[in-house]
Structure 1
Amino acid sequence: MARKDAIKKLRVTLQKRRAALIRAAIGDLDLLQRRQQKTGDVLDAVAETVQAELNSQLLEVESRELKAIDDAIDRIDQECYGDCEGCGKMIPLTRLRAVPYATECIACHRLTEKRKSHPAASMNRVFPSYQADRV
C-alpha cells in the first residue's frame, strides 16, 4: 500500500512539473515570436540571435521533458508505472522520486547509456544496412 500512496504523490509531483513546464514553454515561445528586428549595431543583432537560439534550445529540452512526463502519467493510468522497461522489475521509489518519469531501473539505465556511448554504437547508426546484412 505504501508504494501506491507514493505513486499517487508522484502523480501530483508530475502534474505540478507539467504545469510549470507548460508555463515556461509558453514564455519561451512568446519570446521567440516577439523577437523583433531592432535597429542597432552588429553586436546587438548577434546578441539577439544568440538569445533566440538559447530560447529555442530551452524550448526543445522542455518539450522533451513534457513528453516524458505525459508518458509517465499515462503509465500511472495504465497501472504499469514504475516497471522497468529493460528488466521488468519494479523501479525503486528512491529513483522514481529523483526522476519521476524514469522508465528504467539504475542498472538498465547504465547499460543503455553504456551502449549509447560505446564507439561501435555510433557505427550502427551510421551504417544501418551493415547491421541488417549481418543478421
Structure 2
Amino acid sequence: MDVPTQAHLTTLRDLLLYRRRELTSDVHAAELTRQAAVSSSPATEVSTHAEGAAQFAQAEVDAAQEQRDRDELAQVDAALVRLDQGVYGDCADCGEAIALQRLMAQPAALRCAACQVAFEHRPGAAAHRA
C-alpha cells in the first residue's frame, strides 16, 4: 500500500471515528430527552388540542431523528469493520473502488456513486440508502 493511500485511509478512519462520537452523543442525548419527557409527561397537562398535536408532532420528529442517527451509527460501525477487514472502499455491488471524493464526503459509503444511484431506483430501496 502506498503512502498516499495509507494517509487517505487514516484520514477516512479519523472521519468515521469523529462521526461515530458525534452520533453516539446525539443518540445518548435523545435517549435522555425522551426519558425526561416520559417521566414528566403525567405532570404536564396539555391545555388545547393544538398544543397536544404540536407536542405529538415534535415527538414524532424527534423519534425520526433519533432513528436516523442510529441507522447512520450502524453504517459508520460497518464501515469501520470493513476498514479493519481491508475491504473498505470497495463497492458492495460491483466490487470496484469507490472514488476517494465520495468517501471523503460520505465516509460510510457502501457503494460507488453509479451503484448507489441504481440501488436507490430499485423498488422499495428508499429506506436503505447510504
- What is the TM-score normalised by the length of structure 1? 0.81
* Larger Cα-atom Rg: 1
Matches within 5 A, 1:54-73: 54-73=61-80
Aligned-residue offset at 1:48? 2.0
Equivalent of residue 114 in structure 1, options 106, 118, 121:
121
Query: Which runs of 5 or more residues in structure 1 are unaligned?
Result: 122-135
Aligned-residue offset at 1:24? 0.8
Give the structure 2 partner of residue 34 of structure 1: 36
Aligned-residue offset at 1:28? 1.1
Matched-pair identity in %: 31
What is the aligned length? Answer: 118
Which protein is richer in helix relative to its size?
A: 1
Matches within 5 A, 1:1-135: 1=2, 2-35=4-37, 36-37=40-41, 38-42=44-48, 43-116=50-123
* 8 Å Cα contact 1:95/1:102 also seen in 2: yes
- Worse overlay, 34-43 or 2-11: 34-43
Deviations 1:6-38 (A, max 9, x none): 011110111011101111111111111111220
